[in-house]
Amino acid sequence: MTDKVAIVTGASSGIGAATARALHGAGYVVYAAARRTERMADLDAAGIRTMAMDVTVEESMTSGVERALREAGRIDVLVNNAGYGSYGSLEDVPLSEARRQFEVNVFGAARLAQLVLPTMRAQGSGRIVNISSIGGKMYEPLGDWYHATKFALEGLSDSLRVELRPFGIDVVVVEPGAIRTEWGRIAADNLLERSAAGPYAKQAAAVAGVLSVYERRPGLVSPPEVVARVVLAAAGARRPKTRYVAGRGAKVVLFARWALPDRGFDRLLQIAYRLPG
């Protein structure tokens, strides 16, 4: 493979950086996009084309897609990976932050899809890979807005998959579980900043302890390369699955969510997170 072109967002670290490397290693021309371009020097040195992109800024997304088309002439794969976790009680999280969470995790992905779809339709082929989470199928206390964005991304992806089928374009959802990235620390920091004091303090301490396991106890989580391999398989499969699950424990959690009634899963969370009450 020498002529396939991929754009990967959120590529400055973690899943995005690992995915950019995996696609590049498989022969794709890769455009790795992120706000923090200084953290992509190793990707640039490896021959991956890096570019600044903020998925909350229209001109930034437009110019990035235009550059890929100008230089490579086509876009075959869009990996919507940019995202973050904004935790805190519903009372404590300002609506401005809730809106930003949706801008990054949902609207940025949707806008980039809008920008690449005319090219993909003209080609008669293309693949959009949306990095969701097992958080798009389950829930946690104090994760209201984060889970809302992932549920939204799942619904958007399903609808989009059906409407794009006549044009030869596939939409794939990847649902990582616990992955060793800075995501957990950022989510825990956000949570404690907003809800460490007040009526939700005990819940905040319990949930932050679970989130911090992503970096504090790497043996319980999978490396980002696990997700990157799944994305590579989804990008290259002749007939991809609609969903791929990746990461240690992800299938177990999803099975529990499927098998248990809501109150039963509530109780499971209370035990697993050692929640008060």
| pLDDT in the model for residue 102 | 98
Residue 66: other Cβ atoms inside 10 A: 11
Q: How many domains does the chain have?
A: 1
Q: What angle do CA 130, 83, 180 make, to 5 degrees?
A: 95
At 185 the pLDDT is 83
Specify if 170 maps to a domain: yes
The closest of 20, 15, 114 to 6, measured between CA atoms, is 20
240 is a domain residue: yes
Question: What is residue 186's predicted lDDT score, i.e. its pLDDT?
Answer: 86
- The letter for the amino acid at 206 is A
pLDDT in tens, 204-251: 999 998 887 765 566 678 999 999 999 999 999 999 999 999 998 899
Specify if 277 maps to a domain.
no
Instruction: Determine, yes or no, domain membership for 256.
Output: yes
Q: For this structure, is 273 an active site residue?
A: no
Decide if 212 is inside a domain. yes
Dist CA 245 CA 232 (whole Å): 13
| Res 214: pLDDT | 64
Q: Is 128 helix (H, G, I), strand (E, B) or coil?
A: strand
pTM reported for the whole predicted model: 0.94
Q: What are the tens digits of pLDDT across the range 156-214?
A: 999 999 999 999 999 999 999 988 888 888 889 889 999 999 999 999 999 998 887 76
- The distance of Cα 167 from the centroid of its chain, to the nearest Å, equals 25
Cα(129)–Cα(131) distance, integer angstroms: 6
Name the nearest CA neighbour of 161 among 234, 101, 217: 234
Which residue among 28, 139, 146, 214 is the active-site one? 146
Cα dihedral: 107, 85, 231, 248 (round 10) = -150
User: Could you tell me the CATH number of the domain that includes residue 243?
Assistant: 3.40.50.720
Which of 111, 22, 37, 28 is closest to 77 using CA atoms? 28
Residue 1 has pLDDT above 60, yes or no: no
Per-residue pLDDT, 2: 55
How far is the first Cα of the chain from the last one, in angstroms, to the nearest whole number? 56
Residue type, 242: T
Phi, psi at 197, each rounded to 5°? -120, 155
The domain containing residue 208 runs over which residues? Answer: 5-272
Residue 277 confidence (pLDDT) = 73
8 Å CB contact between 29 and 5: yes
